[in-house]
């Protein structure tokens, strides 16, 4: 019951925040006007600027900002205990993340759909624009490289997810043509498409799991480029090129709308499963994992400040400002929809992160029970604890949790063998992602869904959202490259196709870096940079929002305080990673990461200096937009 109570309390808090704090921001601070001219109407081109119903743009926006971020981040952060992770998700998403996303969306709406980087040039100064665009370019390059690898690994770990993910693409194109060429309705076709995806999940789980490694005898990773991770990464990048140059109504919007239904259905199933498991006593958050972990290995990063960069998308993420100002602001049909899309989508992502935390703790703990027939039970069965091999002692829920997280202890597994777990790096991406997939699958079993099908549902959920973020990030990178090329007068890169190809070529080069396990493994070494760079971007986006408000004589405290937090925490974490005496990049001779960190920290410092110099004359001095004919469509 306590597990269900925590989940319900969190969800109620999000709903109350939307109707109180979110409404105050919309009315009193930003003064949203449903009759105001918006970029989708003013610059309509049916490619990027497309007026869209708020339900459809909500689906695009939410699935683009979600990706694997609110899954992987919380799945890693519960290492420090579920309570700090839960508090940061709830408080961060309400007062920092949703304000960041909403603010970036409104600022872009009021500036003809320009990205926050381009707006920074007018709000802070020309140098600030170029600095911001460079940070955006670096951040998106990491996003493309890492997410391409993550999806490739998910396809390899869970081959049952592959068929459903790829079936969705032609279905989305058919729906897009049906709506925008024939004037059809999107709701019914998207629900039918979702049903087809679930059939494909069952086919992948029970009949045809698409495992190219097993089919062709190709290793997951290897010393040649002929390995599963490289192949899937290249296939995904080819798909991203096609998806990002097509008009948004062709694939991006309908696919994201289908994915939004997929997430809602999966969340409903997870919450129902959580409720049943909570009532039966099978799931217990308090006994499955520590509220605050005390046995942290010496080589693990400290909770301060790393909790705040490990959980990004579930609380606040700089990537969201790129979605808000890169694609969503070009599709919103009315300013009145901005709170629903910008503030509401972030709260829903916070809700997803809450479910992930519970699944990675209480859900994993359910794996120590067996469903046993019981004619005396109203349900027809009861859950009995699994015993350790050759013993009358039951496997504990914390045993199950500890096998996924590297804490200092000796774990006795179900087969009676012991395992010493005591190194932060001993468990990798597979263990963290599978903690949610397997934990969520356990919740679904309490509804009578077979575990194999439940795991397929969870794996498709993760892969679909990661793929959505990947193709949205490609489109955003094209915008950023266009803006940099325009500023630097590099005309070839202002072409849509050349800019997209250049973005993916750079990302592929980073993703397929040679590492200890061969091509593809080197790119994963950039993962530590993602959190700090991403959260630094949130701080810089807050700086643009603050300057927008102060130039319009608006209150700034509600954005200024989050700005300070999101400038300090990522810089602190980056410096720790760079200079820690024994585990730092410099101490271990990791000069690639160290050099990248130097560049990022230097850009941040320069951006802050530009802001300080512009502060004196900012209040009430709002620069007007240039004439419309000077705006170049991308």
- Min mean pLDDT across 218-222, 314-318, 595-599 is at 218-222
- Spell 126-162 as b/e; 16+ CB within 10 A means b: ebbbbbbbbbbbbbbbbbbbbbbbbbbbbbbbbbbbb
462 with 326, same domain: the answer is: yes
Q: For residue 195, how many other CB atoms are within 10 A of its CB?
A: 11
240 with 379, same domain: the answer is: no
Instruction: List alpha helices for 403-526, DSSP H.
Output: 429-445, 451-488, 496-511
| Residue 46 phi, psi dihedral angles, 5° rounding | 60, 15
339 with 383, same domain: the answer is: no
Query: Would you place residue 55 in the very low, low, confident or very high pLDDT band (cuts 50, 70, 90)?
Result: confident
Q: Which residue has the higher pLDDT, 182 or 430?
A: 182
Residue 23 has pLDDT above 70, yes or no: yes
Per-residue pLDDT, 402: 59
Per-residue pLDDT, 199: 95
Q: Which residue has the higher pLDDT, 201 or 405?
A: 201
The rounded distance, in Å, linking the Cα atoms of 619 and 547 is 8
Per-residue pLDDT, 382: 53
Q: Is residue 108 part of a domain?
A: yes
Nearest residue to 265 via CA among 444, 439, 90: 444
Model confidence pLDDT, tens digit, residues 435-485: 788 888 888 888 888 888 988 898 888 888 788 888 888 988 998 899 889
Residue 523 has pLDDT above 90, yes or no: no
Query: Would you place residue 333 in the very low, low, confident or very high pLDDT band (cuts 50, 70, 90)?
Result: very high
Model confidence pLDDT, tens digit, residues 176-190: 888 877 777 777 888
Q: Is residue 437 part of a domain?
A: no
Transcribe 386-411 into DSSP letters: PBPTTSSSBPPHHHHHHTTS--SEEE
Q: Is residue 591 part of a domain?
A: no
Count of domains observed in the chain? 2
Per-residue pLDDT, 633: 42
Nearest residue to 400 via CA among 356, 442, 355: 442
The rounded distance, in Å, linking the Cα atoms of 604 and 598 is 10
Model confidence pLDDT, tens digit, residues 255-289: 878 887 887 888 888 888 888 877 776 767 776 77
Q: Is residue 584 part of a domain?
A: no
Model confidence pLDDT, tens digit, residues 144-175: 888 888 888 888 888 889 999 999 999 999 98
The rounded distance, in Å, linking the Cα atoms of 137 and 493 is 14
Q: Report yes or no: 369 and 386 within 8 Å, Cβ to Cβ.
A: yes
Most confident by average pLDDT, 182-196, 304-318, 425-439:
304-318
- Min mean pLDDT across 367-381, 487-501, 516-530 is at 367-381
496 with 409, same domain: the answer is: no
343 with 381, same domain: the answer is: no
The residue range of the domain holding 420 is: 372-428
411 with 501, same domain: the answer is: no
Q: Is residue 544 part of a domain?
A: yes
- Sign of the alpha-carbon dihedral angle for 573, 577, 579, 581: positive
Per-residue pLDDT, 341: 96
Kind plus residue range of the DSSP H or E element containing 418 = strand 418-421
Query: Would you place residue 386 in the very low, low, confident or very high pLDDT band (cuts 50, 70, 90)?
Result: low
* Average pLDDT of span 394-413: 56
121 with 184, same domain: the answer is: yes
Model confidence pLDDT, tens digit, residues 353-376: 998 898 877 776 665 555 555 566
Per-residue pLDDT, 518: 64
330 with 386, same domain: the answer is: no
28 with 169, same domain: the answer is: yes
Q: Which residue has the higher pLDDT, 595 or 513?
A: 595
The rounded distance, in Å, linking the Cα atoms of 439 and 452 is 12
Pull the structure tokens for residue 540: 């810089």
Per-residue pLDDT, 379: 45
55 with 100, same domain: the answer is: yes
- Spell 65-102 as b/e; 16+ CB within 10 A means b: bbbbbbbbbbbbbbbbbbbbbbebbbebbbbbbbbbbb
Per-residue pLDDT, 438: 80
Instruction: Supply the CATH number for residue 245's domain.
Output: 1.20.1740
265 with 392, same domain: the answer is: no
Q: Percent helix, strand, coil in the chain (nearest 5)?
A: 70, 5, 25
Q: Report yes or no: 358 and 89 within 8 Å, Cβ to Cβ.
A: no
Per-residue pLDDT, 342: 96
pTM: 0.84
The rounded distance, in Å, linking the Cα atoms of 520 and 515 is 7
Query: Would you place residue 632 in the very low, low, confident or very high pLDDT band (cuts 50, 70, 90)?
Result: very low
Q: How far is CA 590 from CA 57, 111, 525, 574, 577, in A?
A: 42, 42, 10, 14, 11
Kind plus residue range of the DSSP H or E element containing 96 = none
Q: Is residue 582 part of a domain?
A: no
* Average pLDDT of span 19-42: 94
- Sign of the alpha-carbon dihedral angle for 118, 309, 259, 257: negative
Query: Would you place residue 10 in the very low, low, confident or very high pLDDT band (cuts 50, 70, 90)?
Result: very high
* Average pLDDT of span 477-499: 89
- Min mean pLDDT across 5-9, 420-424, 604-608 is at 420-424
Q: Is residue 441 part of a domain?
A: no
Share of the chain above pLDDT 70, in %: 83
DSSP annotation of 333? S
The rounded distance, in Å, linking the Cα atoms of 469 and 320 is 10
* Average pLDDT of span 106-123: 91
Q: Is residue 187 part of a domain?
A: yes
Q: Which residue has the higher pLDDT, 422 or 145?
A: 145
378 with 261, same domain: the answer is: no
In sequence order, which residues have a C-beta less than 8 Å from that of residue 60 and are 6 or more positions away? 52, 248, 252, 253, 256, 257, 327, 328, 331, 472
* Average pLDDT of span 69-83: 84
Q: How far apart are the first and last CA of the chain?
A: 53
Mean pLDDT for all residues in the chain: 83
Q: Report yes or no: 374 and 47 within 8 Å, Cβ to Cβ.
A: no
């Amino acid at each position: 019951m306590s597990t269900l109570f925590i989940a319900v309390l969190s969800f109620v808090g999000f709903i109350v925040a939307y109707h109180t704090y979110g409404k105050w921001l919309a009315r009193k601070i930003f003064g949203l006007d449903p009759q105001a001219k918006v970029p989708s109407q003013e610059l309509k081109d049916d490619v990027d600027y497309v007026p869209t119903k708020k339900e459809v743009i909500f689906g695009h926006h939410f699935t683009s900002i979600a990706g694997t971020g609110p899954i992987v981040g919380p799945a890693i952060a519960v290492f420090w205990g579920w309570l700090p992770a839960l508090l940061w998700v709830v408080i961060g998403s309400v007062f920092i993340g949703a304000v960041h996303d909403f603010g970036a969306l409104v600022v872009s709406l009021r500036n003809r759909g320009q990205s926050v980087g381009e707006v920074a040039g007018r709000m802070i100064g020309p140098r600030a624009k170029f600095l911001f665009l460079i940070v955006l370019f670096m951040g998106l390059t990491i996003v493309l490289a890492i997410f391409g690898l993550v999806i490739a690994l998910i396809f390899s770990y869970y081959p049952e997810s592959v068929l459903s993910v790829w079936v969705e693409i032609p279905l989305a194109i058919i729906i897009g043509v049906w709506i925008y060429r024939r004037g059809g309705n999107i709701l019914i076709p998207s629900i039918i498409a979702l049903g087809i995806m679930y059939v494909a999940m069952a086919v992948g789980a029970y009949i045809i799991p698409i495992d190219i490694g097993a089919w062709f005898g190709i290793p997951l990773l290897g010393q040649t480029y002929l390995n599963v991770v490289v192949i899937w990464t290249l296939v995904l990048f080819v798909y991203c090129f096609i998806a990002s140059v097509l008009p948004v109504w062709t694939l991006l919007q309908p696919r994201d709308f289908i994915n939004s239904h997929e997430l809602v259905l999966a969340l409903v199933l997870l919450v129902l499963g959580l409720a049943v498991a909570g009532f039966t006593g099978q799931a217990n958050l308090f006994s499955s994992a520590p509220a605050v972990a005390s046995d942290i290995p010496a080589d693990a990063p400290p909770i301060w400040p790393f909790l705040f960069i490990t959980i990004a998308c579930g609380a606040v993420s700089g990537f969201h400002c790129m979605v808000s100002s890169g694609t969503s602001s070009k599709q919103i049909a009315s300013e009145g929809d901005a709170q629903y899309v910008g503030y509401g989508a972030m709260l829903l992502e916070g809700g997803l992160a809450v479910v992930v935390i519970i699944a990675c703790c209480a859900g994993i703990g359910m794996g120590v029970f067996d469903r046993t027939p019981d004619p005396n039970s109203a349900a027809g069965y009861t859950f009995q604890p699994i015993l350790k091999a050759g013993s009358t002692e039951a496997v504990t829920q914390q045993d199950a949790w500890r096998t996924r997280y590297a804490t200092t202890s000796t774990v006795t597994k179900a087969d009676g063998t012991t395992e010493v777990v005591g190194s932060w790096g001993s468990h990798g991406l597979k263990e963290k992602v599978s903690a949610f997939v397997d934990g969520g699958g356990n919740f679904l079993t309490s509804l009578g869904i077979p575990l194999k099908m439940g795991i397929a549902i969870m794996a498709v959920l993760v892969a679909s959202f990661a793929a959505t973020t990947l193709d949205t990030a490609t489109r955003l990178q094209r915008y950023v490259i266009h803006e940099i090329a325009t500023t630097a007068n590099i005309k070839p890169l202002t072409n849509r196709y050349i800019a997209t190809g250049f973005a993916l070529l750079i990302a592929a080069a980073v993703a397929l870096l040679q590492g200890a396990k061969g091509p593809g493994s080197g790119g994963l070494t950039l993962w530590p940079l993602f959190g700090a760079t991403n959260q630094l971007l949130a701080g810089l986006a807050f700086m643009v929002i603050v300057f927008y408000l102060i130039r319009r004589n608006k209150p700034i405290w509600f954005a200024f305080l989050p700005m300070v937090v999101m400038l300090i925490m990522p810089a602190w974490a980056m410096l720790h990673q760079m200079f820690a005496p024994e585990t730092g990049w410099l101490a271990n001779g990791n000069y690639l990461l160290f050099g990248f960190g130097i560049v990022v920290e230097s850009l941040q410092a320069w951006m802050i200096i530009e802001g300080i110099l512009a502060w004196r004359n900012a209040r009430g001095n709002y620069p007007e937009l240039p004439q419309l004919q000077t705006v170049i469509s991308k």
